[in-house]
């Protein structure tokens, strides 16, 4: 749930729990409560107190984003509604607050339950990392760069890869904003992705976005050389379900892009045919299974500053159709991430011929990245 909705639920829960203290005070003879006209036995007073404690605890856990808040929520809901039924004429309005809690619990199940995109992402990450090529401890050396164009070799060198272990996996967290077209409203998002490299690379990307104040779940899965992109509104309403050869090709370009921007060290062993065009440009042709895609890379002062490909197709709003369009990802603001040096900011741009021309549809900021991290728990 997004910030406003989350704090609305928190306030409802804490206020609702506090009101249950009136029933406890009435039943345990702590004080006269004029608003409660029906008698409450002392034993029921204890139950009212338990409901108050569980509801307030649920609110606090929910505010703190504790993953198991729903356990307290279910217990609090059941106890609360039970005591409300015993004093229905006085306390029936509390059912509305319990309906809010029930809705929050329903959303929690939809967004984090076993059939949610989040759960699928966690399962797929665990499998991908478990099956990834093992880290042999081999270090990148200058001789590993000899077969590459000078521009690409210098980019890898400046990334801090030389003398560091070869890259078999990466895990990155990002945030930014995204939109569907040049005239669409921006959506803010946070994201996490895990890539593995080897004979059959994989890319798993999870995005947690907001549209008109409502949560949007986005899951990209590229495993076994086939790709899907799925989107749900409020973790319930499916908006996009993209798959097929066009999607496979588009994600192959994205995988190539990730190699160049997020994992320069992995370019050493990647199936890429390189050609240096001039002092600032190189062309790469990347093959992954049946897909072969190309991109033109632009460098400035040894750093990669742009990646442009004609092989990545834009997707319609529902993911049913794909339109070939030139695509680019200019990057900037290189800084240290641990022992590596990478671009901290980037954009995704479409270059349609008509009617609106070039526009930025994606902005991202790299927050953290780790390599060869094994099966550490995901953050989503």
* CA proximity to 268, closest of 102, 128, 157: 157
- Looking at every residue in the chain, the average pLDDT score rounds to 92
Residue 378 has pLDDT above 50, yes or no: no
pLDDT digits (tens, 9 = 90+) for 193-203: 999 998 889 99
pLDDT at 131 over 70: yes
d(CA 150, CA 317): 41
pTM, rounded to two decimals: 0.85
Same domain, 79 and 155: no
Confidence category of residue 350, pLDDT binned at 50, 70, 90: very high
Do 106 and 152 belong to one domain? no
Q: Of the candidates 194, 190, 196, which has an alpha carbon nearest to the alpha carbon of residue 174?
A: 190
| 323 pLDDT above the threshold of 90 | no
CATH assignment at residue 193: 2.50.20.10
The DSSP secondary structure of 148-186, one letter per residue, reads: S-HHHHHHHHHTT-BTSBPPSEEEEEEEEEE-SSTTSPP
Give me the pLDDT at residue 65, please: 87
Helix spans in 28-116 (H): 42-63, 69-86, 88-91, 94-112
Dist CA 237 CA 231 (whole Å): 8
What is the predicted pLDDT for the residue at 377? Answer: 44
Domain that holds residue 214: 139-371
Contact in structure between 322 and 315 (CB atoms under 8 Å): yes
Domain co-membership, 330 together with 227: yes
| 93 shares a domain with 166 | no
Residue 249 has pLDDT above 60, yes or no: yes
Do residues 106 and 197 both lie within one domain? no
> For the segment 36-65, what is each residue's pLDDT rounded down to a tens digit?
999 999 999 999 999 999 999 999 999 998
Contact by Cβ (8 Å): 270, 262: no
Q: Is residue 26 situated within a structural domain?
A: yes
- Element (H or E) spanning 334, and its range? strand 331-337
Instruction: Give the model confidence (pLDDT) of 61-94 as tens digits.
Output: 999 989 899 999 999 999 999 999 999 999 999 9
Q: To the nearest whole percent, how much of the chain has pLDDT over 90?
A: 81
Q: Are residues 264 and 151 in the same domain?
A: yes
pLDDT at 319: 73
What confidence tens digit (pLDDT) does each residue in 162-191 have? 999 999 999 999 999 999 888 899 999 999
């Amino acid at each position: 749930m997004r910030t406003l909705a989350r704090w609305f639920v928190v306030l409802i829960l804490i206020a609702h729990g506090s009101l249950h203290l009136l029933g406890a005070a009435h039943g345990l003879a702590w004080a006269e409560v004029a608003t409660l006209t029906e008698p409450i036995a002392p034993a029921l007073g204890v139950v009212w107190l338990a409901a108050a404690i569980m509801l307030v605890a649920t609110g606090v856990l929910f505010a703190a984003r504790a993953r198991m808040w729903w356990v307290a929520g279910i217990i609090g809901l059941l106890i609360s509604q039970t005591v409300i039924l015993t004093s229905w004429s006085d306390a029936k309005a509390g059912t509305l607050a319990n309906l809010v809690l029930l809705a929050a619990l329903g959303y929690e199940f939809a967004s984090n339950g076993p059939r949610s995109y989040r759960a699928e992402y966690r399962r797929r990450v665990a499998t991908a990392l478990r099956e990834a090529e093992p880290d042999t401890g081999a270090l990148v050396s200058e001789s590993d760069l000899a077969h590459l164009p000078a521009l690409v070799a210098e980019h890898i060198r400046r990334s801090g890869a030389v003398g560091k272990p070869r890259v078999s996996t990466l895990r990155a967290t990002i945030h930014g904003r995204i939109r569907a077209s040049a005239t669409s409203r921006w959506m803010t998002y946070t994201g996490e992705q895990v890539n593995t490299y080897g004979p059959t690379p994989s890319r798993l990307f999870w995005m947690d976005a907001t549209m008109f104040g409502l949560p949007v779940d986005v899951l990209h899965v590229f495993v076994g050389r086939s790709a899907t992109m799925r989107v749900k509104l409020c973790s319930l309403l499916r908006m996009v379900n993209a798959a097929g050869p066009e999607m496979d090709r588009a994600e192959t370009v994205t995988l190539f892009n990730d190699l160049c921007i997020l994992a320069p060290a992995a370019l050493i062993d990647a199936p890429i045919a390189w050609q240096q065009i001039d002092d600032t440009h190189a062309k790469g042709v990347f093959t992954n299974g049946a897909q072969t895609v190309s991109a033109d890379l632009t460098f400035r002062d040894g750093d990669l500053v742009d990646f442009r490909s004609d092989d990545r197709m834009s997707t319609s709003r529902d993911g049913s159709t794909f339109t070939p369009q030139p695509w680019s990802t200019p990057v900037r603001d290189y800084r240290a991430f641990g022992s590596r040096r990478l671009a901290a900011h980037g954009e995704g741009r479409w270059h349609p011929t008509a009617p609106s021309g070039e526009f930025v549809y994606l902005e991202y900021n790299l927050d953290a990245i780790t390599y060869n991290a094994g099966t550490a728990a995901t953050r989503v």
